[in-house]
Amino acid sequence: MPAPGVTSPEAVVPEELRHKLWLQYGFEELSGLGKEAELTLADPDEHDRIEVFIKRLRECSASVAYLSPTFASLLQRVILPENDRPLFWNLMQAHVGLPSLQARIDEYL
C-alpha cells in the first residue's frame, strides 16, 4: 500500500535527483572512453557514441531543461581523457550547433 500522497513510484525520489539520474542515463554512452588505448574519440568508429549520447539527452529533454547544463558544466560531470575533450566539443558542435561553451545544451537539442 503506497504512503499517503504518493501517486507513483517516481514521487518518492526528489525531483532534482530524478533529473540528475536521467542525465546520468545519457552519460552512460560515453562510459569507457580512455579506459583502453583504442577507446578514444580520435577513432571515427567511436563517434557513434556522440550520436547516441545526444539521442539520450533528447529522450530526457525535460531533465536537461530542468538542470540547464552548459557545455562547460557538462564537462565538469563527464570524465574524458584530456585529448578527447576538444574532440567531444567539436562533435557536439557539429551535431547540435552549440555556439559556445556557455550555451545551454537544452536550447540546441
Q: Is 35 within a domain?
A: no
Q: Is 52 within a domain?
A: yes
Distance (Å, rounded) from C-alpha 45 to C-alpha 34?
14
Distance (Å, rounded) from C-alpha 53 to C-alpha 109?
11
Q: Is 81 within a domain?
A: yes
Q: Is 2 within a domain?
A: no
Domains: count for the chain:
1
Q: Is 100 within a domain?
A: yes
What tens digit of pLDDT does each residue of 15-53 get?
A: 999 999 999 998 999 999 988 888 999 999 999 999 999
Q: Is 7 within a domain?
A: no
Distance (Å, rounded) from C-alpha 74 to C-alpha 58?
15
Q: Is 58 within a domain?
A: yes
Please provide the size of the chain in residues: 109
pLDDT for 1 equals 57
Contact (CB, 8 A) for 108 and 69: no
Domain interval for residue 85: 14-28+45-108
Q: Is 36 within a domain?
A: no
Closest CA to 58 of 6, 5, 106: 106
Distance (Å, rounded) from C-alpha 40 to C-alpha 22?
24
